[in-house]
């Protein structure tokens, strides 16, 4: 859990209402449910949109409705003992998928639709770990009704040969971060990463594929515009001037460099468009201000664009922030990555043809 309290996760569940009507979370010594409809935990005096139990203090109450917690049992070391002892060493999220339309959404999820979601994840899985700072592995499991334990069907992980380097570089970068402060100079770390996907559900065999990248993580500081300085120090906005760039590398000494359409990330990849969002042969990451549904970067609307063309100025801090990232931070990160790639210490894993491409 690190320094994040279990309760901090609960606010994020509201963004997941498009596929679940009663999400819940088990972590440490607490289990909580969110009820957007306000029907399960309300009474005549008060409408409640959720409830939190303490596994030890509320043991009697939990036992009275034990069936509500049974879906957690048998999943990743969560047993009866977890509830009787009052502690789970980890975090489990549960999203019971909507099977009938509700006031929140008319979208329902059939087994076929869930399979489609899995296949969609698999297609872009090699990008999921690219700009994250802690996560090293993601696995997908399936448990059929007749199966006693979940069955692993897919895995994406940082390959063993690059894991130690990635860990060290991530740690080095995280140690420089000082939220709310303008750094006296920019900080950058550049490193190669190989991400491996393993499909255990492939007919007749285990399908393993590797994807390699050169990644630069960049925290913008030093000589930046006064607008950018004010936004970094803005306690209401509270964003980090952190960006990243990743260029594809060949996965072997005699293999060609893959061509990619540059996608935009905000830690994780944003929805992929039919054409490249960046116009660059690299992936771009940033601590962007996103739209309300957290799927797209906030950009000026048509009226604001017209105002800019006639000499007007943006006043929306979120739009100004994105503008600063795009115009000041990302170009620096991109140039830093190119310079690192052609330096002597990078010559061992980046060829001249890859850099040129």
Residue 233 confidence (pLDDT): 92
CA dist., res. 307 & res. 61, Å (int): 59
pLDDT beyond 80 at 344: no
- Kindly state the tokens that stand for 199: 């499909």
pLDDT band at 10 (very low <50, low <70, confident <90, very high): very low
Which tens digits make up the pLDDT trace of 92-103?
999 888 888 888
Which tens digits make up the pLDDT trace of 262-310?
899 999 998 865 554 678 899 999 999 988 777 788 887 777 777 777 7
13-27, 97-111, 243-257, 292-306: which has the minimum mean pLDDT? 13-27
**Helical packing angle, 226-233 and 317-324, nearest 10°:** 120
Phi, psi of 201 (to 5 degrees): -95, 10
User: What are the beta bridge partners of residue 193?
Assistant: 213
pLDDT beyond 50 at 8: no
Residue with tokens 């190119």: 338
pLDDT beyond 70 at 77: yes
Q: What is the percent of the chain with per-residue pLDDT over 90, rounded to a whole number?
A: 49
CB 108 within 8 A of CB 89: no
Q: Between 138 and 298, name the one with better pLDDT.
A: 138
| pTM exceeds 0.75 for this model | yes
Q: Between 14 and 151, name the one with better pLDDT.
A: 151
Segments making up each domain of the chain, as ranges: 6-109, 115-356
3-state helix/strand/coil string of 52-101: EEECCCCHHHHHHCHHHCHHHCCECCECHHHHHHCCEEEEEEECCECCCC
pLDDT band at 311 (very low <50, low <70, confident <90, very high): confident
């Amino acid at each position: 859990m690190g320094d994040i309290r279990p309760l901090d996760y609960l606010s994020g569940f509201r963004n997941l209402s498009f596929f679940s009507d009663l999400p819940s979370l088990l972590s440490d010594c607490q289990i909580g449910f969110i009820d957007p409809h306000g029907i399960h935990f309300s009474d005549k005096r008060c409408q409640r949109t959720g409830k939190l139990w303490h596994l030890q203090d509320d043991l009697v109450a939990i036992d009275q409705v034990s069936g509500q917690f049974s879906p957690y049992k048998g999943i990743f070391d969560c047993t009866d003992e977890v509830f009787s002892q009052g502690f789970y060493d980890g975090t489990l999220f549960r999203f019971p998928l909507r099977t009938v339309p509700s006031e929140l959404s008319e979208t329902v999820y059939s087994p076929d639709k869930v399979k489609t979601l899995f296949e969609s994840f698999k297609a872009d899985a090699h990008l999921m770990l690219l700009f994250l700072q802690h996560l090293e592995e993601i696995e997908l499991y399936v448990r059929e009704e007749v199966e006693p334990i979940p069955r692993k069907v897919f895995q994406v992980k940082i390959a063993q040969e690059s894991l130690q380097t990635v860990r060290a570089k991530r740690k080095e970068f995280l140690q420089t971060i000082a939220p709310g402060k303008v750094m006296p100079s920019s900080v950058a770390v550049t490193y190669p990463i190989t991400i491996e996907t393993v499909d255990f559900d492939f007919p007749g065999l285990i399908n393993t594929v590797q994807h390699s990248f050169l990644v630069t993580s960049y925290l913008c500081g030093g000589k930046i515009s006064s607008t950018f300085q004010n936004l970094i120090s803005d306690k209401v906005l509270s964003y980090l001037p952190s960006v990243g760039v990743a260029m594809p590398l060949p996965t072997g000494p005699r293999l060609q460099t893959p061509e990619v359409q540059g996608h935009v990330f905000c830690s994780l990849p944003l929805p992929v468009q039919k054409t490249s969002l960046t116009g660059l042969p690299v992936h771009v990451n940033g601590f962007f201000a996103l739209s309300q549904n957290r799927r797209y970067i906030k950009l000026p609307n048509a009226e604001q664009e017209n105002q800019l063309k006639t000499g007007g100025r943006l006043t929306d801090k979120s739009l100004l922030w994105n503008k600063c990232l795009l115009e000041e931070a990302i170009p620096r990160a991109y140039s830093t990555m190119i310079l690192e790639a052609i330096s002597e210490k990078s010559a061992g894993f980046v060829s001249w043809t890859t850099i040129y491409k």
